[in-house]
Structure 1
């Protein structure tokens, strides 16, 4: 990109500066919760801005969401309901509107398959492979689509009593996968911890978001809250699929013809969206319609702690609607 700035400058941009940034960008990567929508409602101006970008020649738009409670199709449907006119919809698979969406429900099976492939290269004899799933129907659907057998899954776990009975374990389980689960429970933790006592059992989680922003300024616990409990109970750290891990961006690079040096990451959270962009070497644009604040971003920029500095964005705007005047003049 020709705009020469520190990746952590936390710079407020004028319309002319935004226009130049967009001229230097071919691919825009948008978070969803707190950027495009909040709960069930679109954020003001989001649909108009995204539609203007989607109409602009030479611009590509992808949505990278840590939300594991919906499939790619579910996220695409929500974007359309909120007025975003995604490309595609024809008979050609390359024209599928779902291809604009990279969510953790979709990327988690890709992560597991890659991990399994690496394990198989080291095994003299291939062993059966299953996953113990703590997560949503969307995650179960994505595992099925990828051909990965699993036990557990959406819905309540059978109560193990007190003190809890020793759970019956499937000997073929080689990984525990945790995502957002409205039925997360002590019984599920007991079973997961039992599997994770085997150091050969992989521990994978979709994301670390501790909270989710909803409409009306409500905030509810996110997957990161569940993950903290399970990491504490198992005394193990999970491998993370979603942001701030680089894996989700690598999924885009593998599947789409995009130039890394002409990508821009747009998000509302310093510890996921912005940090992922930083770790991938991308310029980042923080919007103030979600979780993180300008004061928090500036504190990270001015910190003497190198790890905190990584959380500071390159640029800051109030909302993605601020992009619209710059797009109109491209």
Structure 2
């Protein structure tokens, strides 16, 4: 973000006030989401019943990855805003975290959707398939798949630049790793491939759960309906966070013509496509789940408003 360039224009004071206002709003939102996520993670570790459920293990992993992703992206946003340079080797380490956890989030959502599909459409197999051990295997698979795009990009970068460049200082951004023009096409292609696969899986689960909900009755119908709404929310989150993968291309095109519009679009993209889908994670499981929400309220007020600790089966 060209902070120095903007201060040289006639409208610099107005632009700076606007950027400061948006910057403060973004920091407040990040602080709130980090606080809420930490409460949810604390709630998860306080009860053994949560740690034995695949859905809650994946949920806790998603929250943890969200916290790390928000912290690193916020640091990069601040450094970009104030034109703070960073040695390239440090920047690469941060970009690895950003890239991996950019893909971890939608993949974890897809895995959580599959868990709901098994729970509702294959209830007899749910206990055998959705175990804590399998949840950990899923997390390893998610990380492995998420590491593929950045691994290929880094291999190309290491083969294309001299070793001396790693000690140079630059403004850290993902565009720094693009050496050849075709690399942007590669990134776009692999993003679309991931999107298509995950979107097909979510749609399939939604259709199958919808069929199960229509056939069910009583408590089973109620549970299926809730699962259907959960999958729908996951689909919405998936669209938001995958749209974020195309934002750098749009931002780079806008920056060439209008720096003020670029600043506004960059902040808007960050709030809508980075903060919003991760906020919904807390809503989908943390606040809509009665057992989890009961424990969350207790720890949020440090138990001051409760005569006794909420009782949940361990």
TM-score by length of 2: 0.29
Q: Tell me which protein shows more helix as a share of its residues.
A: 2
Q: Tell me which protein shows more strand as a share of its residues.
A: 1
Q: Which has the larger radius of gyration?
A: 2
TM-score by length of 1: 0.28
